[in-house]
Amino acid sequence: MIKAILIFNNHGKPRLSKFYEHYSEDTEQQIIRETFHLVSKRDENVCNFLEGGMLIGGSDNKLIYRHYATLYFVFCVDSSESELGILDLIQVFVETLDKCFENVCELDLIFHVDKVHHILSEMVMGGMVLETNMNEIITHVDAQNKMEKSEVRAASEARVLSIIILI
């Protein structure tokens, strides 16, 4: 099971956090801080795994992370997940983001955090990996975006119409 997925930047500012187990808000923030502390002090050329921090459940858990430019992508997983599998999953995640945002950068994540959540929810559901095939993920994300757009357009048209009529 994946316990949590965290994205934060080089300064430890969270850009996305998704917890699949229940923690109180305070603990969540502490976990983010602790994870950042653990991950950020590691060299660029050391391995991508480290034994989990204290807060998120001790020795059974591992942190698997990758560092891309200004962002850290960290997955907290328990022993049932394979390290390389998760590393691969992070890569799929980032590549999907790249496809959806066209050259993804930190700002995309900041302003479109909801979209990132959509994409993530197509990959991981309730801590279990739902889909690892990038094309499949993009198809579903696109289809839902289209649906959303048509709804928004319909809504705004209706609103403009109602204003015009009333005026």
Residues in contact with another protein by the rule CB under 8 A: 1, 14, 16-19, 22-26, 28-29, 42-51, 66, 68, 80, 82-85, 87-89, 91, 94-95, 110-111, 113-114, 117-118, 121, 125-126, 128-133, 136, 140, 143-144, 147-148, 151-152, 155, 159, 162-163, 166-167
Kindly tell me which of 10 and 133 has the beta carbon lying closer to another protein. Answer: 133
Residue showing tokens 């990758």: 66
Distance of closest approach, residue 103 Cβ to another protein, in angstroms: 13
Minimum Å distance from CB 6 to another protein? 10
Name which of 23 and 101 has its Cβ closer to another protein: 23
SS (H, E, C) the chain: CEEEEEEEECCCCEEEEEECCCCCHHHHHHHHHHHHHHHHCCCCCCCCEEECCCCCCHHHCEEEEEEECCEEEEEEECCCCCHHHHHHHHHHHHHHHHHHHCCCCHHHHHHCHHHHHHHHHHHEECCEECCCCHHHHHHHHHHHHHHHHHHHHHHHHHHHHHHHHHC
Least distance from another protein to the Cβ atom of residue 79, Å: 8
Minimum CB separation from another protein for residue 48, in Å?
6
Judged by CB, which is closer to another protein: 74, or 89?
89
